[in-house]
């Protein structure tokens, strides 16, 4: 399957039930005490849900707050306001003991596979570690590690090798195997394919899609490339400086974007065909959107206003609320 083709399998079968993940008015500020209170929010009032078996994409430029949201969900970043519910249970300020009980059902795959693989341990030992913590015997843990490696396209004898003996793409497959070996309900993929070449990206994305369809997994897929998000996600949330600019069905957001920032993201997304790439470049230039470096962050109003060709005085004084435009919810006064 081509990386450019939006995945449709198993994406319209979700039913109304308790969300797998529910993020409501999430606020994250860095720092402590008065310093944190005075700091601008890295994440400012973000809300979204993920249903069982659903993939939601979180996309935006560097510094938009994508990874901060992922860390807040995983308990790796303190939450300043709002709430995070996992399977209906509030885990916003869960202690380490509570996090351990949910750790097997809420897992993560990060950009750098070396961050989750100990170079001094064999692959089998790294994969078996979370199983051993749950009281599974060494023999059973090894068998499950071999089965999981085989499922992600690696030989069973890879359990006895070390991370340095694998390529970057293979190590990322191992990271996927480590995240899924405990049979989680939700996996947070934080830039999980951004460091890989295009062919390896496609392989890992297809692997994630196949495992989702087989196991009914839910994903929060975080990336800066909207075309990658489009391939895997059913719904897309677009962030800019910690705020939601647009959210809606993946096809609506990526093929008919309403917010000027989303339009710029889509136009900037690379494609392999030179003619189409030139056309996208012309579209991007015609939008008249300023570069991020030319727009300093200022408090109040719309965070995108200094780059937006549609901005007026209203945008400087009033933060636009999300409103329905077509199939999407858009935070823009003039979309």
The torsion angles phi and psi of 181, rounded to 5 degrees, stand at -65, -25
Place 277 in a pLDDT band, splitting at 50, 70 and 90. Answer: low
Cα-based distances in Å from 212 to 5, 187, 334: 17, 10, 38
Q: What pLDDT is attached to residue 12?
A: 46
DSSP state of 59: E
CB 171 within 8 A of CB 163: yes
Give the pair of three-digit tokens for residue 298: 């200022």
Give the pair of three-digit tokens for residue 196: 């890989």
Residue 299 lies in a domain: no
Give the pair of three-digit tokens for residue 51: 């249903």
The predicted model scores a pTM of 0.86
3-class secondary structure per residue, 15-47:
CCCCCCEEEEEEEECCCCHHHHHHCCCCEEEEE
Q: What is the CATH number of the domain that holds 226?
A: 3.40.50.300
Which of 246, 248, 295, 253 has its CA nearest to residue 63?
295
Q: How far is C-alpha 319 from the chain's CA centre?
A: 25
User: Looking at the predicted structure, is the pLDDT value of residue 275 above 90?
Assistant: no
CB 328 within 8 A of CB 250: no
What is the residue range of 128's domain?
21-255
Which of 87, 70, 89 has its CA nearest to residue 26?
70
Q: What pLDDT is attached to residue 324?
A: 95
Residue 105 lies in a domain: yes
Reported in sequence order, the residue ranges of 214-331 that DSSP labels E, i.e. its strands, are 218-223, 235-240, 243-249, 323-325, 328-330
| Mean pLDDT confidence for 292-307 | 74
pLDDT in tens, 57-112: 999 998 899 999 999 999 999 999 999 999 999 999 998 888 888 888 999 998 88
Residue 272 lies in a domain: no
Place 267 in a pLDDT band, splitting at 50, 70 and 90. Answer: confident
Residue 144 lies in a domain: yes
Which of 29, 42, 24 has its CA nearest to residue 85?
24
CB 322 within 8 A of CB 247: yes
DSSP state of 156: G
User: Looking at the predicted structure, is the pLDDT value of residue 243 above 90?
Assistant: yes
User: Looking at the predicted structure, is the pLDDT value of residue 250 above 90?
Assistant: yes
Place 139 in a pLDDT band, splitting at 50, 70 and 90. Answer: very high
Reported in sequence order, the residue ranges of the chain that DSSP labels E, i.e. its strands, are 21-28, 43-50, 55-59, 81-86, 89-90, 106-109, 186-190, 218-223, 235-240, 243-249, 323-325, 328-330
For residues 4 and 159, the model is more confident at 159
Percent of the chain with pLDDT over 70: 86
Q: Tell me the three state secondary structure of residue 221.
A: strand
Residue 294 lies in a domain: no
Q: What is the rounded average pLDDT for all residues in the chain?
A: 85
Domain count along the chain? 1
Give the pair of three-digit tokens for residue 96: 């380490």
Place 309 in a pLDDT band, splitting at 50, 70 and 90. Answer: confident
Q: What pLDDT is attached to residue 133?
A: 81
Residue 123 lies in a domain: yes
Q: How far is C-alpha 205 from the chain's CA centre?
A: 13
Q: In terms of residues, how long is the chain?
A: 335
Strand partners, 4: none
pLDDT in tens, 10-31: 444 444 689 999 999 999 998 7
Residue 312 lies in a domain: no
| DSSP strand pairing (55-59 vs 235-240) | parallel
Residue 148 lies in a domain: yes
């Amino acid at each position: 399957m081509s990386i450019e083709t939006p995945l449709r399998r198993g994406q319209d079968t979700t039913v109304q039930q308790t969300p797998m993940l529910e993020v409501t008015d999430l606020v994250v500020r860095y720092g402590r005490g008065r310093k944190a209170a005075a700091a601008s929010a890295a994440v400012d009032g973000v809300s979204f849900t993920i249903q069982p078996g659903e993939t939601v994409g979180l996309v935006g430029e560097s510094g938009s707050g994508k990874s901060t949201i992922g860390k807040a969900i995983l308990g790796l970043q303190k939450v300043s306001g709002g709430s995070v519910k996992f399977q209906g249970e509030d885990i916003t300020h869960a202690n380490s003991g509570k996090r351990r009980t949910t750790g097997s059902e809420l897992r993560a795959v990060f950009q750098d596979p070396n961050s989750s693989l100990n170079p001094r341990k064999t692959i089998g030992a790294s994969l078996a570690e979370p199983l051993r913590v749950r009281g599974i015997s060494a023999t059973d843990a090894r068998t499950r590690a071999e089965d999981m490696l085989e499922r992600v396209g690696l030989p069973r004898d890879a359990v006895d090798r070390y991370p340095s003996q694998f390529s970057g793409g293979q190590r990322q497959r191992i990271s996927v195997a480590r995240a899924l070996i405990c049979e989680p309900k939700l996996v947070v993929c934080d830039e999980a394919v951004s460091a890989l070449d295009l062919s390896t990206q496609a392989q890992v994305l297809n692997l994630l899609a196949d495992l989702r369809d087989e196991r009914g997994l839910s994903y929060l897929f975080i990336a800066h490339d909207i075309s990658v998000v489009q391939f895997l996600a059913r719904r897309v949330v677009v962030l800019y400086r910690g705020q939601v600019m647009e959210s809606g069905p993946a096809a609506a957001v990526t093929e008919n974007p309403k917010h000027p920032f989303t339009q710029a993201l889509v136009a900037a997304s690379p494609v392999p065909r030179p003619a189409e790439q030139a056309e996208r470049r012309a579209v991007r230039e015609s939008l008249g959107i300023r570069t991020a470096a030319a727009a300093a962050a200022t408090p109040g109003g719309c965070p995108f206003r200094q780059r937006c060709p549609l901005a007026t005085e209203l945008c400087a004084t009033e933060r636009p609320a999300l409103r329905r435009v077509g199939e999407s919810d858009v935070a823009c006064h003039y979309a």
